[in-house]
């Protein structure tokens, strides 16, 4: 029986509906290693469904260079230097363009802004993330976002009148749990792995998007976000809040980027797989059939260079992401990492293989090899989670990010997960999501404003009911 990938796509929404129906409009601003995005989402508070209004995507490498006197507080994976002022300007213009395209007003139509970053690899310690988040806030203020639209409201009177009836703020306050999962230790979890917040948003976004499918993606679950860097979470089945029992870190989309840079089709330093695959078509069925042996052999060689393991205790950086495996161990969180050599020391070898594939077989085969490699990365990550006892009989798996859901990857991922024998009918337990992070920002904004939709709950256990009553009881204590 053929396995059928569940891939979510966002339904469109009209401007007239945005203005007339109870849509909670949120901007997700994310400065990543490869792209900077402003994605506008609108959640219909009557149905709990989130629609993507539009997305404005820019290449982060196009950020202006730091001016004399500005402090450089981080670099992207490809070495682009960033100052707080330059990041703020990039964020401000990206958000402004996104609102103008949607014919919406920043001051009156935008209800909330959530900011996140994946550019943690070039930082010296997880603490530097705070400075970056401030730069994102500067950009939002420059664009005209009212400060109250970036912080949780103190009381129901701080919530816009038209949403007050949907808010449960008088029953429960926001206590740090997003979509009923508590972060590992402290307020942010960045003490353990620098991109924990990305993992939190991706998990929440996959939970929301899965409602468009027949997969019940509530706790316990595994979320994997394949942006340029890898992030994600593994949750327990505790109620009302699940614990974060695992985190992913290291490289994800940086692997196909390195392979493609060898092909000379993109810039050999800052080029990305994204640029090639926007222009190229997926390889034909005939190409895949005729070149199957070559594709498999190249994928095997690449996998020999990719290390996937439980992060060793002595590492302070893994796959160039700042980590603290010692702190993780103390609170029972297992870090699973993906590296190429040590902190990317073997990335050049991937580019060399990319060049060889391109010369001997052409670009469509590069494409096919990348699909095969990334599907293998997913399965190796899941296998470690299984070996560490982090997968339960009702665990569901969600995948988002460009290096996990494009091309033929969903089919290949299901095929190798099926071979891991995690569960019968594995395709009914796996969901592939576009823009998990932006959807997660919409969920985060609703959690901060205690805007629930008990009729289609995101929180609680697989197959269970809404956990509002349990939360009220917990907070009363």
CA distance 23 to 404: 30
Residue with tokens 């594709």: 295
Contact 400, 223 (CB under 8 A): yes
Dihedrals φ, ψ of 430, to 5°?
A: -125, 135
pLDDT at site 47 = 84
Q: How many CA atoms lie within 13 A of 63 on its CB side?
A: 33
Predicted confidence (pLDDT) per residue in 332-390, tens digit? 899 999 999 999 999 999 999 999 998 999 888 998 999 999 999 999 999 999 999 99
305: helix, coil or strand? helix
* pLDDT at site 289: 80
Mean pLDDT of 448-475: 83
| Residue 422 pLDDT > 60 | yes
pLDDT at 281: 63
What pLDDT does residue 127 have? 63
- Work out the percent of the chain whose per-residue pLDDT is above 90: 54
The pLDDT of 436-450, averaged and rounded, is 89
Strand partners for 234: 222, 246
Residue 419 burial (CB count, 10 A) = 10
Q: What does the pLDDT average to over 214-223?
A: 93
Question: Given this model, what pLDDT does residue 280 score?
Answer: 60
Six token digits for residue 175: 């206590």
Band of the pLDDT at 278, cuts 50, 70, 90?
Answer: low
Task: Mark 284-323 as b/e (b = at least 16 C-beta within 10 Å).
Answer: eeebbeebeeebeebbebbeebbbbebbeeebebbbbbbb
Q: Coil, strand or helix: which one is 260? A: helix
- Top pLDDT among 285 and 158 is at 158
Give residue 307's pLDDT band: very low, low, confident or very high (50, 70, 90).
very high
Q: What is the band of 178 on the pLDDT scale with cuts at 50, 70, 90?
A: confident
Model pLDDT for residues 93-137, shown as the tens digit of each residue: 999 999 999 999 999 999 999 998 877 756 666 666 777 888 999
**For residue 10, what pLDDT is reported?**
77
Return the number of other C-beta atoms located less than 10 Å from residue 422's C-beta. 18
- Mean pLDDT throughout 44-48? 88
Please give the pLDDT value at position 187.
42
Evaluate the CA torsion angle 69, 124, 347, 229 in order and state its sign: negative
Q: In the 8-state DSSP scheme, what is residue 451?
A: B
Per residue in 185-202, pLDDT tens?
Answer: 654 455 788 888 889 999
Eight-class DSSP state of 167: B
Report how far apart, in Å, the C-alpha atoms of 257 and of each of 27, 28, 110, 262 are: 28, 24, 35, 9
* pLDDT for res 217: 93
Tell me the pLDDT band of 279, cut-offs 50, 70 and 90: low
CB atoms within 10 A of CB 456: 12
């Amino acid at each position: 029986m053929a396995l059928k990938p569940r891939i979510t796509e966002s339904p469109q929404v009209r401007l007239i509906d945005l203005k007339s129906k109870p849509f909670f409009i949120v901007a997700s601003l994310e400065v990543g290693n490869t792209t900077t995005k402003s994605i506008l989402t609108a959640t219909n508070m009557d149905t709990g469904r989130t629609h993507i209004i539009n997305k404005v995507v820019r290449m982060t490498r196009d950020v202006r260079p730091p001016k004399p006197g500005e402090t450089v507080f981080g670099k992207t994976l490809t070495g682009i230097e960033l100052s707080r002022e330059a990041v703020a300007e990039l964020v401000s213009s990206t958000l402004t363009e996104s609102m103008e395209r949607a014919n919406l007003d920043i001051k009156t139509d935008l209800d909330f802004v959530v900011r996140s970053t994946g550019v943690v690899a070039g930082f010296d310690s997880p603490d530097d993330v705070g400075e970056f988040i401030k730069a994102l806030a500067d950009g939002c203020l420059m664009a005209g976002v009212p400060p109250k639209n970036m912080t949780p409201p103190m009381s129901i009177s701080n919530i816009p009148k038209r949403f007050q009836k949907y808010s449960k703020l008088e029953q429960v306050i926001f206590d740090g749990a997003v979509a009923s999962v508590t972060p590992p230790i402290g307020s942010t979890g960045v003490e353990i792995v620098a991109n924990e917040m990305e993992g939190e948003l991706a998990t929440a976004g996959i939970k929301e998007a899965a409602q468009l499918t027949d997969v019940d993606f509530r706790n316990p679950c595994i979320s994997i976000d394949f942006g340029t860097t890898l992030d994600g979470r593994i949750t327990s089945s505790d109620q009302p809040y699940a614990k974060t029992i695992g985190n992913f870190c290291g490289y994800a989309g940086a692997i196909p980027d390195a392979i493609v840079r060898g092909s000379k089709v993109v810039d050999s330093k800052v080029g990305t797989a994204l640029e090639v695959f926007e222009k190229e078509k997926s390889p034909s069925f005939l190409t895949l059939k005729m070149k199957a042996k070559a594709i498999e052999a190249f994928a095997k060689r690449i996998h020999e260079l990719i290390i996937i393991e439980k992060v060793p205790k002595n590492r302070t950086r893994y796959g160039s992401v700042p980590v603290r495996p010692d702190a993780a161990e103390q609170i029972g969180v297992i870090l699973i990492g993906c590296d190429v050599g040590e902190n990317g020391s073997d990335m050049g070898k991937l580019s060399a293989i990319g060049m060889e594939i391109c010369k001997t077989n052409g670009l469509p085969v590069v494409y096919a090899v990348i699909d095969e490699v990334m599907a293998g990365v997913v399965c190796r990550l899941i296998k470690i989670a299984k070996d560490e006892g982090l997968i339960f009989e009702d665990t569901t798996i969600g995948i988002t990010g460009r290096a996990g859901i494009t091309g033929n990857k969903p089919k290949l991922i299901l095929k190798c997960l099926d071979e891991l024998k995690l569960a019968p009918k594995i395709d009914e337990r796996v969901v592939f999501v576009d823009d998990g992070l932006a959807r997660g920002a919409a969920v985060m904004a609703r959690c901060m404003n205690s805007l629930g939709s008990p009729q289609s709950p995101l929180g609680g256990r697989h197959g269970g009911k809404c956990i509002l009553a349990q939360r009220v009881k917990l907070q009363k204590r």
